[in-house]
């Protein structure tokens, strides 16, 4: 291969490799389909890489360059003795007419199940098909099925089996990897309520897909809808955390809480749903870095409210586990842990809490934070906590003698 000169017009301008499925964009430039689709469908680019002209991401505007493909295939066959493999003829992507007919014919629940199976097969073939489906009304079709979550027991082969088309629709909707504009259109009250119902009454797989999809929607949502989230959704999010459906669902749930808690009364809604106690329980068992960081981040947000701090202090292991994770997980975890202790020390430090922090070794841990390299802001915050209650802590017998020198004046 190294001794063969490849004709330059066989090379994709993006990948710099021989094109397997050359397509022409509206500017007249030919690219390999996989490369230009990845460029356009990432959501970050809307220009032709060569000419810099604006082009649409519509999959139907990518015209197969059959002449060039045949030339490349012939060249590969002529040079087969050099170890060059023939490029197979690519399967043509699905078009909007085919997709529209498929979803229009799916009226009854059983027809919808069969239609969903066909749509999944089409989506699994390539990203082009996924984008074509997205622009052909499939998203609206799937949402309409999901919004009818409480449907239907289908009879098949003489036995009754609970089969909800919404389960398959939800999985397919998530796996389409929707664009930001499509995700924003999903952020309506009815669809969010449907996801809430699925998290409440769906099977484990559907509940997992519901929270994964909710995470994607919230990541691109405007602030106003987040302010108006209902308490019921927090109850179901916390229940997903409690049930530990899957590692992926747990991380998605934590990210949802991180994204929504800064807005409106969401902190209080999460606290009232029992988030603080379940997060502490999970921290007691968790040893992985990223989940610990996320749990402490959520706790830090919740402890910015009086209700959150009260729940943490009410839990027998609250202060102890936060202190334990400091300097044991990562700099991020240490920062979040110290922030939690700062909120407690500044706003909820009754005499009994101050004594408890001393007895549990929290003060000792803060003295260690001041000494080690864990970030200047974290160290400064630890010093402030120690100064706040220096009269009680500094001369205590509970504080190791070797750490007294690090206690701030």
Examine residue 185 and state whether it is found in any structural domain, yes or no: no
Residues 74 and 4: their CA atoms lie apart, in Å, by: 15
Give the total number of structural domains in the chain.
Answer: 4
Q: How confident is the model at residue 160 (pLDDT cuts 50, 70, 90)?
A: very low
Query: What pLDDT, on a 0 to 100 scale, did the predictor assign at position 151?
Result: 47
Q: pTM, whole model, 2 decimals?
A: 0.82
Same domain, 145 and 208: no
Examine residue 157 and state whether it is found in any structural domain, yes or no: no
Query: What pLDDT, on a 0 to 100 scale, did the predictor assign at position 283?
Result: 96
Examine residue 50 and state whether it is found in any structural domain, yes or no: yes
Same domain, 265 and 200: yes
For residue 319, give Cα distances in angstroms to 101, 312, 326, 327, 345.
Answer: 60, 7, 11, 15, 11
Structural domain including 77 reads: 8-82
Tens digit of each residue's pLDDT (9 = 90 or more) over 281-312: 999 999 899 999 999 999 999 999 999 999 99
Q: What CATH number is attached to the domain comprising 54?
A: 3.30.40.10
Same domain, 262 and 310: no
Same domain, 386 and 318: yes
Same domain, 402 and 304: yes
Q: How confident is the model at residue 60 (pLDDT cuts 50, 70, 90)?
A: low
Q: How confident is the model at residue 81 (pLDDT cuts 50, 70, 90)?
A: confident
Examine residue 87 and state whether it is found in any structural domain, yes or no: no
Query: What pLDDT, on a 0 to 100 scale, did the predictor assign at position 405?
Result: 65
Q: Does 163 score more than 60 pLDDT?
A: no
């Amino acid at each position: 291969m190294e001794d063969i000169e490849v004709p330059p017009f066989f090379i994709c301008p993006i990948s710099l490799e021989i094109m397997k499925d050359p397509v022409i964009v509206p500017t007249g430039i030919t690219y390999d389909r996989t490369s230009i689709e990845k460029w356009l469908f990432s959501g970050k680019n809307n220009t032709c890489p060569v000419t810099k002209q604006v082009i649409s991401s519509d999959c139907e505007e990518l015209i197969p360059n059959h002449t060039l493909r045949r030339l490349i295939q012939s060249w590969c066959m002529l040079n087969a003795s050099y170890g060059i493999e023939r490029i197979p003829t690519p399967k043509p992507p699905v078009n909007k007419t085919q997709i529209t007919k498929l979803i229009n014919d799916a009226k009854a629940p059983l027809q919808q199940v069969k239609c969903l199976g066909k749509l999944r097969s089409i989506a699994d073939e390539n990203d082009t098909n996924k984008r074509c489906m997205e622009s052909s009304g499939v998203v609206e079709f799937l949402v309409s099925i999901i919004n009818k979550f409480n449907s239907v027991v289908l009879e098949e082969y003489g036995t009754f089996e609970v089969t909800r088309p919404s389960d398959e629709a939800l999985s397919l909707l998530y796996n389409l990897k929707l664009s930001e504009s499509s995700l924003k259109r999903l952020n309506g009250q009815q669809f969010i309520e449907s996801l809430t119902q699925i998290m409440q009454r769906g099977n484990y797989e559907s509940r997992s897909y519901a929270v994964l999809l909710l995470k994607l929607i919230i990541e691109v949502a405007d602030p106003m809808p987040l302010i108006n989230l209902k308490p019921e959704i927090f109850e179901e999010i916390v229940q997903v955390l409690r049930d530990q459906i899957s590692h992926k669902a747990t991380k998605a749930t934590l990210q949802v809480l991180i994204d929504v808690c800064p807005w409106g009364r969401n902190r209080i809604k999460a606290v009232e749903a029992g988030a603080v106690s379940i997060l502490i329980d999970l921290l007691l068992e968790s040893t992985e870095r990223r989940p610990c960081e996320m749990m402490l981040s959520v706790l830090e947000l919740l402890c910015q409210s009086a209700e959150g701090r009260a729940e943490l202090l009410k839990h027998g292991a609250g202060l102890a586990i936060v202190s334990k994770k400091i300097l044991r997980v990562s700099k991020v975890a240490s920062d979040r842990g110290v922030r939690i202790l700062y909120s407690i020390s500044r706003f909820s430090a009754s005499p009994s809490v101050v004594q408890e922090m001393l007895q549990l070794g929290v003060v000792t841990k803060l003295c260690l934070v001041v000494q080690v390299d864990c970030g200047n802001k974290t160290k400064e915050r630890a010093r402030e906590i120690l100064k706040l209650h220096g009269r009680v802590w500094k001369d205590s017998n509970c504080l190791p003698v070797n750490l007294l020198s690090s206690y701030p004046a």
